[in-house]
Amino acid sequence: MLQDASIEAVRAKFRGELITPADKGYEDARKVYNGMIDRRPRLILKCVDVADVMAAVAFARENGLLLAIRGGGHNGAGLGVCDDGLVIDLSRMRGVRVDPAARTVRAEGGCKWGDVDHATHPFGLATPSGFISTTGVAGLTLGGGIGYLTRKYGLTIDNLLAVDLVLADGRFVTASAEENTDLFWAVRGGGGNFGVATSFLFQLHPVGTVHAGPMLWPLEQATEVMQFFRDFIARAPEEMNGFFAFLTVPPGPPFPQHLHNHKMCGIVWCYCGPAEKVEEAFKPIRSFRPPSLEMVGPLPFPVVQSMFDALYAPGLQWYWRADFVNELSDEAIAQHIKHGSALPTMHSTMHLYPIDGAVHKVGRQETAFSYRESKLAEVIVGVDPDPANNSKITNWCKNYFDALHPYSAGGAYVNFMMEEGQERVRATYGDNYARLADIKRKYDPTNLFRVNQNILPAETTQTAQGLS
Protein backbone atom coordinates (compact mmCIF):
# COMPACT_ATOMS: atom_id res chain seq x y z
CA MET A 1 0.00 0.00 0.00
CA LEU A 2 1.03 3.59 -0.55
CA GLN A 3 2.12 5.33 2.60
CA ASP A 4 -0.47 7.71 4.03
CA ALA A 5 2.24 10.38 4.23
CA SER A 6 2.93 10.27 0.48
CA ILE A 7 -0.79 10.40 -0.32
CA GLU A 8 -1.14 13.40 1.97
CA ALA A 9 1.82 15.04 0.21
CA VAL A 10 0.15 14.78 -3.19
CA ARG A 11 -3.20 15.84 -1.74
CA ALA A 12 -1.62 19.12 -0.65
CA LYS A 13 -0.66 19.91 -4.26
CA PHE A 14 -3.84 18.67 -5.86
CA ARG A 15 -7.16 20.39 -6.60
CA GLY A 16 -8.90 17.37 -8.15
CA GLU A 17 -10.14 14.16 -6.53
CA LEU A 18 -7.94 11.45 -4.98
CA ILE A 19 -9.53 8.03 -4.90
CA THR A 20 -8.03 5.07 -3.04
CA PRO A 21 -9.44 1.53 -2.68
CA ALA A 22 -10.87 2.63 0.67
CA ASP A 23 -13.01 5.35 -0.92
CA LYS A 24 -16.69 4.98 -1.81
CA GLY A 25 -16.23 6.01 -5.44
CA TYR A 26 -13.39 3.53 -6.09
CA GLU A 27 -15.41 0.74 -7.71
CA ASP A 28 -16.92 3.15 -10.24
CA ALA A 29 -13.71 5.08 -10.82
CA ARG A 30 -11.68 1.99 -11.75
CA LYS A 31 -14.19 0.85 -14.39
CA VAL A 32 -13.39 1.45 -18.05
CA TYR A 33 -15.61 1.12 -21.11
CA ASN A 34 -14.72 -2.55 -21.74
CA GLY A 35 -16.49 -4.56 -19.04
CA MET A 36 -13.97 -7.39 -19.51
CA ILE A 37 -11.26 -5.26 -17.90
CA ASP A 38 -11.05 -5.65 -14.13
CA ARG A 39 -8.02 -3.80 -12.76
CA ARG A 40 -7.38 -2.41 -9.30
CA PRO A 41 -5.10 0.63 -9.17
CA ARG A 42 -3.67 1.79 -5.84
CA LEU A 43 -4.65 5.38 -6.48
CA ILE A 44 -6.76 7.29 -9.00
CA LEU A 45 -6.05 10.99 -9.42
CA LYS A 46 -8.88 12.82 -11.15
CA CYS A 47 -7.06 15.92 -12.36
CA VAL A 48 -8.83 19.22 -12.98
CA ASP A 49 -5.98 21.17 -14.57
CA VAL A 50 -2.45 20.99 -15.92
CA ALA A 51 -0.96 21.66 -12.48
CA ASP A 52 -2.74 18.55 -11.18
CA VAL A 53 -1.35 16.50 -14.05
CA MET A 54 2.17 17.78 -13.26
CA ALA A 55 1.75 16.84 -9.61
CA ALA A 56 0.44 13.40 -10.55
CA VAL A 57 3.28 12.65 -12.99
CA ALA A 58 5.83 13.75 -10.38
CA PHE A 59 4.15 11.55 -7.77
CA ALA A 60 4.30 8.49 -10.04
CA ARG A 61 7.93 9.12 -10.97
CA GLU A 62 9.12 9.81 -7.42
CA ASN A 63 7.35 6.79 -5.97
CA GLY A 64 8.26 4.39 -8.78
CA LEU A 65 4.61 3.71 -9.50
CA LEU A 66 3.22 2.04 -12.58
CA LEU A 67 1.29 4.80 -14.34
CA ALA A 68 -1.80 4.60 -16.55
CA ILE A 69 -3.42 7.57 -18.30
CA ARG A 70 -7.13 7.61 -18.79
CA GLY A 71 -8.60 9.89 -21.45
CA GLY A 72 -12.00 8.57 -22.50
CA GLY A 73 -11.43 5.10 -21.00
CA HIS A 74 -12.51 3.47 -24.27
CA ASN A 75 -9.44 1.46 -25.09
CA GLY A 76 -10.29 -2.15 -25.91
CA ALA A 77 -7.26 -3.49 -24.06
CA GLY A 78 -8.14 -1.36 -21.05
CA LEU A 79 -4.93 0.69 -21.24
CA GLY A 80 -6.57 3.59 -19.41
CA VAL A 81 -6.26 1.70 -16.10
CA CYS A 82 -3.65 -0.53 -14.42
CA ASP A 83 -3.30 -2.97 -11.56
CA ASP A 84 -1.44 -1.86 -8.49
CA GLY A 85 -0.36 1.56 -9.78
CA LEU A 86 -1.53 5.12 -10.31
CA VAL A 87 -4.18 6.25 -12.78
CA ILE A 88 -4.12 9.81 -14.06
CA ASP A 89 -7.78 10.26 -14.91
CA LEU A 90 -8.58 13.26 -17.12
CA SER A 91 -12.36 12.83 -17.15
CA ARG A 92 -12.81 16.16 -15.34
CA MET A 93 -10.81 18.03 -17.97
CA ARG A 94 -13.39 18.31 -20.73
CA GLY A 95 -13.31 21.97 -21.70
CA VAL A 96 -13.71 22.81 -25.40
CA ARG A 97 -13.20 26.19 -27.06
CA VAL A 98 -14.06 26.88 -30.68
CA ASP A 99 -12.44 29.71 -32.60
CA PRO A 100 -14.86 30.13 -35.51
CA ALA A 101 -12.76 32.79 -37.23
CA ALA A 102 -9.60 30.68 -37.26
CA ARG A 103 -11.68 27.51 -37.75
CA THR A 104 -9.97 25.69 -34.91
CA VAL A 105 -11.07 23.92 -31.76
CA ARG A 106 -9.11 23.33 -28.57
CA ALA A 107 -10.17 20.29 -26.56
CA GLU A 108 -8.86 19.29 -23.14
CA GLY A 109 -7.31 15.85 -22.66
CA GLY A 110 -10.34 14.22 -21.03
CA CYS A 111 -12.86 15.18 -23.72
CA LYS A 112 -14.97 12.67 -25.56
CA TRP A 113 -15.77 13.30 -29.21
CA GLY A 114 -19.36 14.13 -28.30
CA ASP A 115 -18.04 17.12 -26.33
CA VAL A 116 -16.20 18.40 -29.38
CA ASP A 117 -19.04 17.77 -31.86
CA HIS A 118 -21.48 19.53 -29.53
CA ALA A 119 -19.26 22.61 -29.41
CA THR A 120 -18.35 22.83 -33.10
CA HIS A 121 -21.70 21.94 -34.74
CA PRO A 122 -23.45 25.27 -34.01
CA PHE A 123 -20.74 26.89 -36.14
CA GLY A 124 -21.32 24.40 -38.98
CA LEU A 125 -17.85 23.01 -38.37
CA ALA A 126 -16.32 19.63 -37.51
CA THR A 127 -12.99 17.83 -37.39
CA PRO A 128 -12.44 14.19 -38.36
CA SER A 129 -12.80 11.80 -35.42
CA GLY A 130 -14.29 8.29 -35.36
CA PHE A 131 -17.62 6.51 -35.80
CA ILE A 132 -19.01 6.90 -32.28
CA SER A 133 -19.20 9.91 -29.97
CA THR A 134 -18.27 8.30 -26.65
CA THR A 135 -14.63 7.60 -27.55
CA GLY A 136 -11.95 9.72 -25.91
CA VAL A 137 -10.36 12.50 -27.95
CA ALA A 138 -6.93 11.75 -26.47
CA GLY A 139 -6.53 8.03 -27.11
CA LEU A 140 -8.20 8.16 -30.52
CA THR A 141 -6.09 11.11 -31.68
CA LEU A 142 -2.75 9.87 -30.39
CA GLY A 143 -3.28 6.57 -32.24
CA GLY A 144 -4.36 8.19 -35.54
CA GLY A 145 -8.14 8.54 -35.71
CA ILE A 146 -10.22 6.83 -38.40
CA GLY A 147 -13.78 8.04 -38.93
CA TYR A 148 -16.61 9.30 -41.13
CA LEU A 149 -14.65 12.28 -42.47
CA THR A 150 -11.36 10.48 -43.08
CA ARG A 151 -11.56 10.14 -46.87
CA LYS A 152 -12.24 13.85 -47.29
CA TYR A 153 -10.22 15.45 -44.50
CA GLY A 154 -7.74 12.76 -43.43
CA LEU A 155 -7.03 11.07 -40.13
CA THR A 156 -7.62 12.97 -36.91
CA ILE A 157 -3.85 13.48 -36.62
CA ASP A 158 -3.81 15.11 -40.05
CA ASN A 159 -5.95 17.86 -38.51
CA LEU A 160 -3.97 18.18 -35.30
CA LEU A 161 -2.26 21.57 -35.16
CA ALA A 162 -0.74 21.38 -31.70
CA VAL A 163 -0.81 19.35 -28.52
CA ASP A 164 0.16 20.31 -24.97
CA LEU A 165 1.90 17.62 -22.95
CA VAL A 166 3.28 17.00 -19.50
CA LEU A 167 6.47 15.00 -20.03
CA ALA A 168 7.97 12.27 -17.83
CA ASP A 169 10.45 14.75 -16.30
CA GLY A 170 7.57 17.05 -15.37
CA ARG A 171 8.09 19.71 -18.06
CA PHE A 172 5.04 21.16 -19.80
CA VAL A 173 5.59 21.55 -23.54
CA THR A 174 3.71 22.21 -26.74
CA ALA A 175 4.36 20.07 -29.79
CA SER A 176 3.45 21.42 -33.20
CA ALA A 177 4.91 21.98 -36.67
CA GLU A 178 6.98 24.80 -35.11
CA GLU A 179 7.84 23.54 -31.62
CA ASN A 180 9.28 20.20 -30.51
CA THR A 181 8.77 18.88 -34.00
CA ASP A 182 10.17 15.42 -33.26
CA LEU A 183 7.63 15.02 -30.50
CA PHE A 184 4.87 16.29 -32.78
CA TRP A 185 5.85 13.67 -35.34
CA ALA A 186 5.78 10.91 -32.69
CA VAL A 187 2.46 11.74 -31.03
CA ARG A 188 0.70 11.61 -34.39
CA GLY A 189 0.24 7.83 -34.22
CA GLY A 190 2.61 6.86 -31.41
CA GLY A 191 -0.12 6.73 -28.73
CA GLY A 192 0.34 7.70 -25.09
CA ASN A 193 4.05 6.83 -25.06
CA PHE A 194 5.47 10.35 -24.81
CA GLY A 195 3.60 12.26 -22.14
CA VAL A 196 0.19 13.19 -20.78
CA ALA A 197 -1.64 15.22 -23.42
CA THR A 198 -3.57 17.94 -21.61
CA SER A 199 -5.05 19.66 -24.66
CA PHE A 200 -5.31 19.35 -28.42
CA LEU A 201 -5.75 22.01 -31.09
CA PHE A 202 -7.53 20.83 -34.24
CA GLN A 203 -8.32 22.31 -37.64
CA LEU A 204 -12.05 22.49 -38.36
CA HIS A 205 -13.89 22.09 -41.67
CA PRO A 206 -17.30 23.15 -42.92
CA VAL A 207 -19.37 20.07 -42.03
CA GLY A 208 -22.91 20.59 -40.74
CA THR A 209 -25.57 18.33 -42.27
CA VAL A 210 -24.36 15.13 -43.89
CA HIS A 211 -26.25 12.42 -45.80
CA ALA A 212 -25.73 9.30 -43.84
CA GLY A 213 -27.07 6.02 -42.51
CA PRO A 214 -26.96 2.29 -43.09
CA MET A 215 -28.03 0.15 -46.04
CA LEU A 216 -28.52 -3.52 -45.21
CA TRP A 217 -28.54 -6.57 -47.48
CA PRO A 218 -29.24 -10.27 -46.79
CA LEU A 219 -26.24 -12.30 -45.69
CA GLU A 220 -26.61 -14.47 -48.80
CA GLN A 221 -25.55 -11.46 -50.87
CA ALA A 222 -22.52 -10.64 -48.72
CA THR A 223 -19.92 -11.71 -51.32
CA GLU A 224 -21.35 -9.34 -53.93
CA VAL A 225 -21.83 -6.53 -51.39
CA MET A 226 -18.26 -6.83 -50.17
CA GLN A 227 -16.91 -6.88 -53.72
CA PHE A 228 -19.05 -3.87 -54.59
CA PHE A 229 -17.83 -2.02 -51.48
CA ARG A 230 -14.19 -2.80 -52.31
CA ASP A 231 -14.49 -1.62 -55.92
CA PHE A 232 -16.81 1.34 -55.33
CA ILE A 233 -15.09 2.95 -52.36
CA ALA A 234 -11.68 2.92 -54.08
CA ARG A 235 -13.06 5.20 -56.81
CA ALA A 236 -15.72 7.14 -54.93
CA PRO A 237 -15.41 10.89 -54.46
CA GLU A 238 -13.61 11.75 -51.22
CA GLU A 239 -16.80 13.26 -49.79
CA MET A 240 -18.29 9.75 -49.75
CA ASN A 241 -17.35 7.55 -46.83
CA GLY A 242 -18.74 4.18 -45.91
CA PHE A 243 -17.76 1.19 -43.85
CA PHE A 244 -18.73 -2.41 -44.50
CA ALA A 245 -20.16 -4.41 -41.59
CA PHE A 246 -21.39 -7.86 -40.69
CA LEU A 247 -24.06 -7.25 -38.09
CA THR A 248 -27.17 -8.51 -36.37
CA VAL A 249 -30.19 -6.21 -36.67
CA PRO A 250 -30.99 -5.00 -33.13
CA PRO A 251 -34.42 -6.11 -31.92
CA GLY A 252 -36.05 -2.71 -31.58
CA PRO A 253 -36.91 0.57 -33.26
CA PRO A 254 -36.02 2.10 -35.68
CA PHE A 255 -35.50 -1.31 -37.34
CA PRO A 256 -38.56 -3.06 -38.85
CA GLN A 257 -39.73 -6.06 -36.86
CA HIS A 258 -39.33 -8.56 -39.70
CA LEU A 259 -35.56 -7.92 -39.68
CA HIS A 260 -35.05 -8.06 -35.91
CA ASN A 261 -32.22 -10.40 -34.88
CA HIS A 262 -31.39 -11.22 -38.51
CA LYS A 263 -27.71 -11.50 -39.35
CA MET A 264 -27.07 -9.25 -42.32
CA CYS A 265 -24.33 -7.33 -44.03
CA GLY A 266 -24.39 -3.61 -44.54
CA ILE A 267 -22.60 -0.44 -45.45
CA VAL A 268 -22.92 2.63 -43.24
CA TRP A 269 -22.59 5.66 -45.49
CA CYS A 270 -21.68 9.25 -44.73
CA TYR A 271 -21.58 11.79 -47.55
CA CYS A 272 -20.20 15.19 -46.52
CA GLY A 273 -20.35 16.91 -49.92
CA PRO A 274 -22.81 19.56 -51.13
CA ALA A 275 -26.54 18.74 -50.90
CA GLU A 276 -27.08 19.25 -54.64
CA LYS A 277 -24.61 16.44 -55.40
CA VAL A 278 -26.15 13.83 -53.07
CA GLU A 279 -28.31 12.14 -55.71
CA GLU A 280 -25.39 11.84 -58.10
CA ALA A 281 -23.09 10.52 -55.36
CA PHE A 282 -25.54 7.79 -54.31
CA LYS A 283 -26.58 6.85 -57.88
CA PRO A 284 -24.00 4.06 -58.41
CA ILE A 285 -24.84 2.68 -54.96
CA ARG A 286 -28.57 2.65 -55.61
CA SER A 287 -28.08 1.03 -58.99
CA PHE A 288 -25.95 -1.79 -57.49
CA ARG A 289 -28.86 -3.72 -56.02
CA PRO A 290 -31.74 -2.69 -53.78
CA PRO A 291 -30.98 -3.16 -50.08
CA SER A 292 -33.45 -4.87 -47.73
CA LEU A 293 -33.35 -1.70 -45.65
CA GLU A 294 -32.10 1.79 -46.38
CA MET A 295 -31.94 4.45 -43.68
CA VAL A 296 -29.83 7.09 -45.46
CA GLY A 297 -30.95 10.69 -45.10
CA PRO A 298 -29.86 14.20 -44.17
CA LEU A 299 -28.64 14.30 -40.57
CA PRO A 300 -26.73 16.74 -38.38
CA PHE A 301 -23.17 15.46 -38.10
CA PRO A 302 -23.34 14.96 -34.28
CA VAL A 303 -26.40 12.71 -34.78
CA VAL A 304 -24.44 10.52 -37.17
CA GLN A 305 -21.52 10.43 -34.76
CA SER A 306 -23.75 9.22 -31.94
CA MET A 307 -25.91 6.80 -33.96
CA PHE A 308 -24.30 3.73 -32.34
CA ASP A 309 -23.80 5.13 -28.82
CA ALA A 310 -26.88 3.50 -27.31
CA LEU A 311 -26.25 0.10 -28.90
CA TYR A 312 -22.69 0.07 -27.59
CA ALA A 313 -23.26 1.38 -24.08
CA PRO A 314 -20.35 1.25 -21.59
CA GLY A 315 -19.79 -1.96 -19.65
CA LEU A 316 -20.21 -4.58 -22.38
CA GLN A 317 -17.60 -7.32 -22.70
CA TRP A 318 -15.31 -6.67 -25.69
CA TYR A 319 -12.58 -8.65 -27.39
CA TRP A 320 -10.83 -7.07 -30.40
CA ARG A 321 -8.54 -8.11 -33.24
CA ALA A 322 -7.53 -6.04 -36.23
CA ASP A 323 -5.24 -5.58 -39.22
CA PHE A 324 -4.69 -3.20 -42.10
CA VAL A 325 -5.44 -4.55 -45.56
CA ASN A 326 -3.72 -3.59 -48.80
CA GLU A 327 -5.83 -5.69 -51.13
CA LEU A 328 -9.18 -7.32 -50.37
CA SER A 329 -8.90 -10.38 -52.60
CA ASP A 330 -11.79 -12.68 -53.49
CA GLU A 331 -10.06 -15.41 -51.41
CA ALA A 332 -10.04 -13.08 -48.38
CA ILE A 333 -13.70 -12.27 -49.02
CA ALA A 334 -14.51 -16.01 -48.94
CA GLN A 335 -12.93 -16.22 -45.47
CA HIS A 336 -14.85 -13.13 -44.36
CA ILE A 337 -18.12 -14.71 -45.47
CA LYS A 338 -17.33 -17.90 -43.55
CA HIS A 339 -16.52 -16.18 -40.26
CA GLY A 340 -18.63 -13.03 -40.61
CA SER A 341 -21.74 -15.13 -41.16
CA ALA A 342 -21.17 -16.79 -37.81
CA LEU A 343 -21.42 -13.71 -35.54
CA PRO A 344 -21.56 -15.24 -32.05
CA THR A 345 -23.78 -12.59 -30.42
CA MET A 346 -26.07 -9.69 -31.36
CA HIS A 347 -23.44 -7.01 -30.64
CA SER A 348 -20.50 -8.75 -32.32
CA THR A 349 -19.42 -7.32 -35.65
CA MET A 350 -16.68 -6.92 -38.24
CA HIS A 351 -16.01 -3.56 -39.88
CA LEU A 352 -13.88 -2.56 -42.85
CA TYR A 353 -13.01 1.15 -42.83
CA PRO A 354 -11.54 2.84 -45.90
CA ILE A 355 -7.97 4.15 -45.58
CA ASP A 356 -7.56 6.23 -48.71
CA GLY A 357 -8.45 9.64 -50.10
CA ALA A 358 -6.86 12.36 -47.97
CA VAL A 359 -4.99 9.75 -45.87
CA HIS A 360 -2.91 8.83 -48.92
CA LYS A 361 -1.90 12.44 -49.46
CA VAL A 362 0.37 12.36 -46.40
CA GLY A 363 3.54 10.30 -46.67
CA ARG A 364 4.19 7.16 -44.58
CA GLN A 365 7.08 8.86 -42.80
CA GLU A 366 5.49 12.28 -42.30
CA THR A 367 3.79 11.06 -39.11
CA ALA A 368 4.24 7.97 -36.94
CA PHE A 369 1.09 6.39 -38.43
CA SER A 370 2.67 3.97 -40.87
CA TYR A 371 -0.09 2.25 -42.83
CA ARG A 372 -0.85 5.27 -45.04
CA GLU A 373 -0.64 3.13 -48.14
CA SER A 374 -3.11 0.47 -47.04
CA LYS A 375 -6.68 0.48 -48.36
CA LEU A 376 -8.73 -0.73 -45.44
CA ALA A 377 -8.62 -1.08 -41.67
CA GLU A 378 -10.28 -4.32 -40.59
CA VAL A 379 -11.59 -4.73 -37.06
CA ILE A 380 -13.23 -7.83 -35.65
CA VAL A 381 -14.98 -7.41 -32.33
CA GLY A 382 -16.69 -10.01 -30.19
CA VAL A 383 -19.12 -8.13 -27.93
CA ASP A 384 -21.76 -9.20 -25.44
CA PRO A 385 -23.27 -7.97 -22.17
CA ASP A 386 -22.87 -11.36 -20.46
CA PRO A 387 -19.41 -12.33 -19.12
CA ALA A 388 -20.51 -15.97 -19.40
CA ASN A 389 -20.08 -15.57 -23.17
CA ASN A 390 -16.50 -14.31 -22.97
CA SER A 391 -14.86 -17.42 -24.33
CA LYS A 392 -17.47 -17.64 -27.10
CA ILE A 393 -16.82 -14.08 -28.35
CA THR A 394 -13.06 -14.33 -27.83
CA ASN A 395 -12.69 -17.63 -29.69
CA TRP A 396 -14.78 -16.43 -32.62
CA CYS A 397 -12.74 -13.24 -32.84
CA LYS A 398 -9.37 -15.04 -32.67
CA ASN A 399 -10.38 -17.66 -35.25
CA TYR A 400 -11.69 -14.98 -37.60
CA PHE A 401 -8.49 -12.96 -37.21
CA ASP A 402 -6.27 -16.03 -37.76
CA ALA A 403 -8.11 -16.83 -40.99
CA LEU A 404 -7.72 -13.27 -42.35
CA HIS A 405 -4.27 -12.34 -41.04
CA PRO A 406 -2.44 -14.04 -43.95
CA TYR A 407 -4.30 -11.67 -46.32
CA SER A 408 -3.42 -8.55 -44.29
CA ALA A 409 -0.76 -5.87 -44.66
CA GLY A 410 0.94 -7.31 -41.56
CA GLY A 411 0.10 -4.91 -38.76
CA ALA A 412 -2.91 -3.34 -37.10
CA TYR A 413 -4.24 0.08 -36.21
CA VAL A 414 -2.85 0.63 -32.73
CA ASN A 415 -6.24 1.68 -31.35
CA PHE A 416 -7.91 -1.58 -32.39
CA MET A 417 -5.45 -3.87 -30.61
CA MET A 418 -5.54 -5.86 -27.41
CA GLU A 419 -2.27 -6.45 -25.54
CA GLU A 420 -0.67 -8.61 -28.22
CA GLY A 421 3.05 -8.27 -27.49
CA GLN A 422 6.04 -6.31 -28.82
CA GLU A 423 6.08 -8.02 -32.20
CA ARG A 424 2.61 -6.70 -32.97
CA VAL A 425 3.52 -3.20 -31.76
CA ARG A 426 6.51 -3.26 -34.11
CA ALA A 427 4.30 -4.51 -36.93
CA THR A 428 2.04 -1.50 -36.32
CA TYR A 429 4.86 0.97 -36.83
CA GLY A 430 7.00 -0.85 -39.40
CA ASP A 431 9.93 1.30 -40.51
CA ASN A 432 8.80 4.18 -38.27
CA TYR A 433 9.52 2.12 -35.13
CA ALA A 434 13.24 2.94 -34.88
CA ARG A 435 12.58 6.70 -35.02
CA LEU A 436 9.81 6.34 -32.44
CA ALA A 437 12.20 4.44 -30.15
CA ASP A 438 14.78 7.24 -30.47
CA ILE A 439 12.20 9.89 -29.63
CA LYS A 440 10.96 7.76 -26.74
CA ARG A 441 14.50 7.62 -25.35
CA LYS A 442 14.74 11.41 -25.57
CA TYR A 443 11.42 12.19 -23.87
CA ASP A 444 10.80 9.13 -21.67
CA PRO A 445 14.08 7.25 -21.17
CA THR A 446 12.84 5.28 -18.16
CA ASN A 447 9.61 4.26 -19.89
CA LEU A 448 7.39 5.89 -17.26
CA PHE A 449 4.58 5.90 -19.84
CA ARG A 450 4.37 2.18 -20.55
CA VAL A 451 0.72 1.26 -19.98
CA ASN A 452 0.02 1.54 -23.69
CA GLN A 453 1.05 -0.17 -26.95
CA ASN A 454 4.55 0.31 -25.72
CA ILE A 455 7.42 1.71 -27.73
CA LEU A 456 10.62 0.77 -25.92
CA PRO A 457 13.24 3.53 -25.50
CA ALA A 458 15.98 2.96 -28.10
CA GLU A 459 18.64 1.44 -25.81
CA THR A 460 16.21 -1.09 -24.43
CA THR A 461 15.19 -1.87 -27.99
CA GLN A 462 18.80 -2.58 -28.95
CA THR A 463 19.24 -4.80 -25.91
CA ALA A 464 16.05 -6.65 -26.75
CA GLN A 465 17.19 -7.09 -30.34
CA GLY A 466 20.60 -8.29 -29.15
CA LEU A 467 18.97 -10.91 -26.96
CA SER A 468 16.62 -12.21 -29.58
Asked if residue 242 binds ligand FAD (CB under 6 A), the reply is: no
| Residue 219 vs 440, nearer CB to ligand FAD | 440
d(CA 306, CA 148): 12
> Strand locations in 103-239, DSSP E?
104-108, 125-126, 160-166, 172-176, 196-203, 205-206, 209-218
Nearest distance from C-beta of residue 196 to ligand FAD, angstroms: 5
Cα distances (Å, whole numbers) of residue 417 to 32, 381, 392, 428: 16, 10, 19, 10
Nearest distance from C-beta of residue 252 to ligand FAD, angstroms: 19
130, 147 in Cβ contact below 8 A?
yes
| Residue 155 vs 215, nearer CB to ligand FAD | 155
Write the interaction track for ligand FAD spanning residues 301-340; mark x where CB under 6 A is met and - where it is not.
Answer: -----------x----------------------------
d(CA 350, CA 428): 20
- Stretch near ligand FAD under the rule CB under 6 A, chosen from 15-23, 131-139, 207-215, 275-283: 131-139
Asked if residue 72 binds ligand FAD (CB under 6 A), the reply is: yes
| Residue 98 vs 187, nearer CB to ligand FAD | 187
Rg, Å, the chain Cα set: 22
**What residues from 386 to 425 belong to the interface with ligand FAD (CB under 6 A)?**
415
Written as one letter, the residue type at 222 is: A
CA angle 233, 147, 269 (to 5 degrees): 45
Asked if residue 146 binds ligand FAD (CB under 6 A), the reply is: yes
Cα distances (Å, whole numbers) of residue 190 to 53, 220, 244, 413: 20, 40, 27, 11
Nearest residue to 177 via CA among 378, 442, 366: 366
**Closest residue to ligand FAD: CB criterion:** 139
Determine which residue in the list 114, 128, 136, 382 makes contact with ligand FAD, applying CB under 6 A. 136
Determine which residue in the list 305, 348, 370, 452 makes contact with ligand FAD, applying CB under 6 A. 452
- Stretch near ligand FAD under the rule CB under 6 A, chosen from 11-19, 23-31, 75-83, 176-184: 75-83
DSSP code per residue over 133-168? SSSBHHHHHHH----TTHHHH--GGGGEEEEEEE-T
Kindly list the residues in this chain that would bind ligand FAD in the complex (CB under 6 A). Answer: 32-33, 69-76, 79-80, 90, 109, 130-132, 135-136, 138-140, 142-143, 145-147, 191-192, 196-197, 312, 415, 451-452
